[in-house]
């Protein structure tokens, strides 16, 4: 693996417990990628735009992958996704939706808005571990990802 900061993940999640559990699952899966957090839709967009406190790209590197919750305060996950896809500089950024909603309408809307994958958060703890391991294997090891974003 190259310099870790080039392999940053952005996790957009409003629930503090979920942030803790996801981060812990990444640690257990021994994924070395640095993790950055955004807690609502507006913050996610500010992070990706490099606005305000996110202007410093050494402290807040542009991510190679976004894990996006759908139900967020302020701008929703779908709005964040649409913003990414509508913005040519970042449009190719891979986005994995990670949400508690198994509803068919949410799944369809997410893919329509340009999600690369849709995962339902497992309630069981072991399930979350396995899911994070799979995300790591598929997206961070096996997949070739595009070079995206202002470097």
Partner 1 sequence: MGLSSQGPDGAGVYPLFVANPSLAASDPRESRLLESLFEAAPDSILVVDESGSIIDANPQASRSFGYAVSEMIGQRIEMLVPEVKRPGHARLREAYQSEPLRRPMGRGLDLEARRRDGSTFPVDIMLGPFETEAGRFVTAIVRDVTERRAVERDAARKAAALEEVKSELEAFAYSVSHDLRTPLRAMQGIGLALEEDFSSQLEPQALDYVRRIVAAAKRMDALILDLLAYSRVGRGQSAPRVVDLDAVWAPVRDEFVASHQAVVTLHMPLGYVRGNPSLVAQIATNLMANAVKFVAKGQRPEVEIRSRASNGRVRVSVTDNGIGIDPAHHGRIFGIFERLHGIEQYPGTGIGLALVKKAAEGMNGAVGVESRLGAGSSFWFELEEGEVA
The footprint of partner 1 (CB under 8 A) covers: 15, 17-18, 20-21, 24, 71, 100-103, 121, 123-126, 128
As measured in angstroms, the least distance from the Cβ of 15 to partner 1 is: 6
Both tokens of 137, joined, read: 């294997």
**Closer CB to partner 1, residue 126 or residue 147?**
126
List the 9-12 sheet strands across, edge first.
Answer: 35-38, 9-12, 65-68, 95-99, 117-120
Residue 45's alpha-carbon distances to 10, 85, 95, 107, 137, in angstroms, are 11, 12, 13, 21, 26
State the minimum distance, in angstroms, from the CB of residue 104 to partner 1.
10
Q: Whole-number minimum distance, CB 82 to partner 1, in Å? A: 21
């Amino acid at each position: 693996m190259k310099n870790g900061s080039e392999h940053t993940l952005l996790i957009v999640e409003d629930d503090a417990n979920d942030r803790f559990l996801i981060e812990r699952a990444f640690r257990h899966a021994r994924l070395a990628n640095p993790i950055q957090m955004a807690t609502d839709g507006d913050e996610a967009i500010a992070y990706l735009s490099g606005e305000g406190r996110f202007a410093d790209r050494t402290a807040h590197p542009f991510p190679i992958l976004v894990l996006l919750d759908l139900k967020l305060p302020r701008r929703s996950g779908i709005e964040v996704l649409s913003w990414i896809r509508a913005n040519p500089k970042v449009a190719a950024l891979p986005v994995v939706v990670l949400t508690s909603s198994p509803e068919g309408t949410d799944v369809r809307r997410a893919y329509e808005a340009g999600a690369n994958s849709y995962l339902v958060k497992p309630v069981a703890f072991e399930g979350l571990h396995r899911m994070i391991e799979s995300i790591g294997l598929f997206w961070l090891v096996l997949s070739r990802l595009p070079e995206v974003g202002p470097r």
